[in-house]
Each structure stands twice: as structure tokens, then as C-alpha cells.
């Protein structure tokens, strides 16, 4: 799978991933100490849903496009940090703009918090730099994300979030991701790690989760929305995140938000969700 994000911006996977990201950031803000966000595969930061690439797939219509109506009250309250980030970006860049994870992160940060945004692609990195503008809280680096993951932890703030969202170009990406997480956790076992993954063949995801559990990493939450259980292993049928050291109550919040999103984003009659522990509770 080559997940070139400009084709998929604002799709169902983005909605779920960015809603979880915004919730984690809300939890981080509840403590006074500064935190750092490290985004290892940041992309270009800002997307135009009227661009040629986005129009070619039209995936946003079954993602952010389905959120014009509000969710049930409890779920809507949990979606509000994500909605607020999207609305803030659109106030500046227009109604068809969509924020990538860097701008979601910046919206969720305070003045004292910091972000390191990493992108390797030589054409994407300048666009990422332009997207964050002169925001002194953030630095965009042209660097391999896996190198950054190893080199930049633990951060000076000693608390924060590492978001790992690779393009899944490698056939062994799940194995590589699990190995990278194990090395990072050994260096910084108290950090929050959020690892995004696509769901095509659920057996690949199950093997990935078993590997993480076998590595001895504690407090690992698995969050998923599957929009089409009958889609077959050649399609993107679902989206998931493994969250290490999730904030208190994130599992309970996910159990309210994810079923509402699964219902709203469903592509068929067998949409599903899960929020369970791979390791620890």
C-alpha cells in the first residue's frame, strides 16, 4: 500500500485518526507542564479538498463530508476538539481546506508546548514548512521519520506524544513499526505513542498487535473503526491506532466516540469498532 496522503486527505481514516489525536492533545493540556509533539511522518500539513489529487478519489466525501450533521450528544462532545481544529484552519484557508496532523497538533498546543514535524519527501517538506508558517512553537525537519523517532526521544519536556503515521510503502511495514516502537519505548517508556495503521487484511493487524504484546510494552490500547467488514483484503476497509500509555479515560471516551463514527462513516451494513487493551489496563 502506498498511502500518498494528498489523494486521501479528509477520508474516513483521517477523521478517526485526527479525532483520536485531538482527544489525546486535550488530555495533555490538562496538566500544567509543557509537552512536545513529535510527528515522524508529517506530510505537507495542509490539504485542499478541491485539488486535482483529492478530486480524483473524492474520498473526503465519505469522511469529513459525512460530518455536516452532528453526532449524538456524548459522541459530539468528544469530537469537538477535532471539529474545532478543522474549523480554525478553514477560517484561515477556506472552506475546502483540511488540516493534516501537524496543524491538528498546533491547534491543540499551548504557547509553552513544542512540536517537531518530520517529513522526508523533498517536495513535501517545503510545503510542510510553509504550512506551519512562522509559528515559533514548531520546527519542520527534512529527515527520515524512523531516524527521527530514534534520535529525538526522550524530549527535553519529558512528557508528550509521538505520532507515527508511515505511508505503508514497505511490505514489512508492520514488522518495522513494531520493532521501532520497541526501541523507542525502551528509551522513553513514559511517553505517549500513537501508531496509525490501515486495515486491509485483519490478520496482519492481529499479528502486529501480538508482536507488541510479546515485546513486553505495557499499557497498550487498540482503537479501530472498520467501515466495511466485507470489503476484502485488497481494499482499505478500516483504520486503527495503537496508543501506548494512553491518557486516563481515553479508552472510555473511545468506547463512546468510535461506535458513533463507525455508524456515520459506514460503507456497508457491517461496520464495526473496537477499543480494547493489547497489554495492561
Catalytic residue annotation: 165
CA dist 45 and 74 (Å) reads 29
CA dist 150 and 183 (Å) reads 8
Neighbours of 176 (CB within 10 A): 13
At 234, give phi and psi (nearest 5°): -100, 5
Range list of H helices, 143-227: 145-151, 173-187, 202-214
Neighbours of 22 (CB within 10 A): 23
- Asked if 10 contacts 103 with a C-beta cutoff of 8 angstroms, the reply is no
Amino acid at each position: 500500500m502506498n498511502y500518498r496522503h494528498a489523494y486521501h486527505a479528509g477520508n474516513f481514516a483521517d477523521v478517526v485518526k485526527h479525532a483520536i489525536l485531538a482527544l489525546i492533545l486535550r488530555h495533555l493540556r490538562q496538566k500544567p507542564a509543557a509537552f512536545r509533539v513529535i510527528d515522524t511522518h508529517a506530510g505537507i500539513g495542509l490539504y485542499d479538498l478541491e485539488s486535482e489529487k483529492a478530486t480524483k478519489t473524492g474520498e473526503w466525501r465519505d469522511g469529513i463530508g459525512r460530518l455536516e450533521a452532528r453526532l449524538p450528544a456524548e459522541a459530539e462532545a468528544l469530537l469537538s476538539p477535532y471539529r474545532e481544529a478543522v474549523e480554525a484552519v478553514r477560517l484561515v484557508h477556506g472552506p475546502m481546506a483540511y488540516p493534516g496532523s501537524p496543524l491538528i497538533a498546533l491547534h491543540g498546543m499551548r504557547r509553552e508546548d513544542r512540536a517537531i514535524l518530520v517529513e522526508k519527501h523533498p517536495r513535501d517538506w517545503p510545503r510542510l514548512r510553509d504550512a506551519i508558517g512562522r509559528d515559533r512553537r514548531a520546527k519542520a525537519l527534512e529527515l527520515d521519520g524512523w531516524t527521527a523517532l530514534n534520535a529525538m526521544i526522550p524530549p527535553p519536556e519529558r512528557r508528550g506524544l509521538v505520532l507515527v503515521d508511515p505511508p505503508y510503502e514497505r511490505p514489512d511495514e508492520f514488522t518495522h513499526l513494531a520493532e521501532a516502537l520497541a526501541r523507542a519505548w525502551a528509551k522513553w517508556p513514559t511517553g505517549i505513542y500513537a501508531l496509525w495503521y490501515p486495515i486491509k487484511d485483519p490478520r496482519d493487524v492481529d499479528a502486529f498487535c501480538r508482536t507488541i504484546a510479546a515485546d513486553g510494552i505495557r499499557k497498550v490500547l487498540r482503537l479501530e473503526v472498520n467501515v466495511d467488514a466485507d470489503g476484502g483484503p485488497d481494499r482499505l476497509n478500516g483504520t486503527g491506532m495503537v496508543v501506548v500509555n494512553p491518557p486516563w479515560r481515553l479508552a472510555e471516551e473511545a468506547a463512546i466516540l468510535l461506535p458513533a463514527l463507525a455508524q456515520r462513516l459506514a460503507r456497508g451494513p457491517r461496520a464495526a469498532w473496537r477499543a480494547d487493551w493489547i497489554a495492561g489496563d
